[in-house]
């Protein structure tokens, strides 16, 4: 199995090496594992997609069919009414950037739909299509959910990763902006209805991009982001990230880091998107001071009445919260996005 433009693909072969074609997966999505037994011709794999929770399947080569083992039950949500499609945006230097869009089937592309664009773009991480239960409520309200596969990840191998490291980090931001511009140009949404979200390195992404193109977004949701690129290596495990970003103690790295460091590129009087930052009091990976300093700088500089707020979770760390707190955090973020994109939620049975 392998990634084909970020989508999982399984190719089958006979024992003599003869190709038998592709195994038909349930849709656009990702494999989370694959196994077989020496005494059985069956193949077992786990599949997930934006509309399909992680599920184990049994493949029978005699029939060429896959059968779900204990298929998931999504109460009051019918995934058949929705679709995930893949498109390609063109970045500033001509690079093609994959974007996955999940939405209701038959939705008219008139630029009116609240849309949240998610990204990461770093540390050799592939952002493959996956299921997030909180997204379903957004989709039910007529919202769109998109993910962009920028350089810096591993979607196309190590060269793709290196094209978003060190002095080339701006490529990642350009890719994300290109994805957003595509969504607007093709009338999936408009700047008044477009939000961006990311965590950790993705929080850095959101912070940098909302500064570089504040006119393009209504909402920004940077979570536990690395916002001070000149001093990140002074705290806890930050020094290890210099292998990805470079460190300001090196004069060459300083010159490119200061150009995009979110904390150092806030401009007074700019109308920034409505922004809800988030951090956790026990985050010892990206320490909360990153978020606190960036929040204060944005609040001081904000040139319009759009809110700049920070959400501080207690008893939480980097990427971990007790379940009830995580649910509450996500609900707050989606509600903030809906409010500031003009969405009018309706009650879904």
> 161: domain CATH number?
3.40.50.1820
Is 349 part of a structural domain of the chain?
no
Residues 195 and 296 in one domain: yes
Residue 187 CA to residue 113 CA, distance in Å, equals 9
Burial code (b: 16+ CB inside 10 Å, e: under 16) for 261-297 equals: bbbbebeeeeebbbbbbbbbeebebbbbebbebbbeb
- Same domain, yes or no: 138 and 228: yes
Q: Which of 49, 190, 200, 261 is catalytic?
A: 200
What local confidence, expressed as pLDDT, does residue 73 receive?
Answer: 84
Asked whether residue 346 is assigned to any structural domain, the reply reads no
d(CA 248, CA 270): 27
* Among 113, 161, 290, 318, the one annotated catalytic: 318
Residues 164 and 308 both lie in one domain: yes
**Tokens representing 215?**
């006119």
In a domain, 122, yes or no: yes
Shared domain for 43 and 132, answered yes or no, is no
pLDDT at 273: 99
Q: What is the DSSP string of 309-345?
A: EEEEESS-BTTB--HHHHHHHHHHHHHHHHHHHT---
pLDDT digits 0-9 by tens, 126-144:
999 999 999 999 999 999 9
Q: Is 317 labeled as catalytic in the residue annotation?
A: no
In a domain, 91, yes or no: yes
Residues 6+ apart with CB under 8 A from 250: none
First to last CA, the chain: 39
Domain residues for the domain of 236 are 79-341
Do 142 and 234 fall within a single domain?
yes
Residues 64 and 134 in one domain: no
Domains of the chain: total: 2
Give which of 175, 184, 245 is closest to 212, Cα–Cα. 175
| Rounded distance between C-alpha atoms, residue 303 and residue 298, angstroms | 9
The answer on 103 and 30 residing in a single domain is no
The rounded distance, in Å, linking the Cα atoms of 193 and 217 is 7
CA-to-CA distance for 79 and 66, rounded, in angstroms? 18
Q: Which residues of the chain have pLDDT under 50?
A: none
Q: Give domain status of residue 100, yes or no.
A: yes
Same domain, residue pair 232 and 326? yes
pTM reported for the whole predicted model: 0.96
Q: Which residue has the tokens 């794999």?
A: 45
On the CB side of 338, CA atoms within 13 Å amount to 18
The pLDDT of residue 4: 95
Last residue of a domain, one of 51, 69, 87: 69
Last residue of a domain, one of 50, 69, 88: 69
What Å distances lie between residue 132 and 48, 53, 137, 283, CA to CA?
Answer: 10, 8, 10, 23
261: annotated active-site residue:
no
Residues 64 and 151 occupy one common structural domain: no
Looking at the structure, tell me whether residues 52 and 163 fall in a common domain. Answer: no
> Is 103 found in the same domain as 213?
yes
Domain end (from 12, 40, 69): 69
The answer as to whether 219 is a domain residue is: yes
Q: Note whether 60 and 84 are same-domain residues.
A: no
The span from the CA of 262 to the CA of 260, in Å, is 6
| pLDDT in the model for residue 321 | 87
């Amino acid at each position: 199995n392998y990634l084909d433009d970020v989508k999982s693909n399984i190719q089958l072969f006979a024992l003599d090496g003869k190709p038998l074609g592709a195994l038909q997966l349930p849709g656009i999505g990702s494999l989370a594992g694959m196994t077989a037994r020496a005494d059985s011709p069956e193949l077992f794999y786990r599949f997930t997609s934006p509309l399909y929770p992680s599920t184990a399947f049994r493949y029978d080569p005699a029939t060429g069919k896959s059968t779900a083992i204990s298929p998931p039950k999504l109460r009051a949500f019918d995934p058949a009414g929705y679709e995930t499609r893949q498109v390609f945006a063109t970045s500033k230097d001509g690079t093609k950037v994959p974007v996955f869009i999940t939405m209701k089937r038959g939705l008219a592309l008139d630029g009116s739909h609240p849309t949240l664009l998610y990204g990461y773009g770093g540390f050799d991480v592939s952002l493959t299509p996956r299921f997030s239960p909180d997204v379903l409520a957004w989709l039910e309200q007529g919202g769109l959910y998109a993910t962009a596969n920028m350089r810096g990840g591993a979607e196309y191998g190590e060269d793709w990763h290196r094209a978003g490291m060190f002095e080339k980090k701006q490529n990642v931001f350009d890719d994300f902006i290109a994805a957003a511009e595509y969504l607007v140009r093709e009338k999936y949404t408009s700047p008044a209805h477009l939000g961006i979200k990311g965590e950790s390195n993705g929080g850095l992404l959101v912070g940098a991009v909302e500064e570089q193109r504040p006119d393009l977004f209504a909402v920004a949701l940077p979570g536990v982001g690395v916002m001070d690129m000149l001093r990140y290596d002074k705290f806890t495990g930050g020094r290890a990230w210099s292998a990805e970003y470079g460190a300001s103690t090196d004069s060459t790295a300083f010159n490119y880091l200061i150009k995009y460091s979110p904390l150092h590129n806030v401009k007074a009087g700019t109308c920034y998107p409505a922004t809800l930052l988030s951090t956790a009091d026990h985050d010892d990976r990206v320490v909360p001071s990153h978020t606190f300093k960036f929040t204060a700088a944005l609040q001081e500089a904000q040139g319009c009445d759009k809110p700049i707020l920070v959400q501080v979770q207690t008893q939480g760390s980097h990427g971990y919260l007790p379940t009830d707190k995580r649910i509450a955090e996500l609900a707050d973020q989606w509600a903030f996005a809906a409010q500031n994109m003009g969405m009018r939620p309706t009650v879904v049975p």
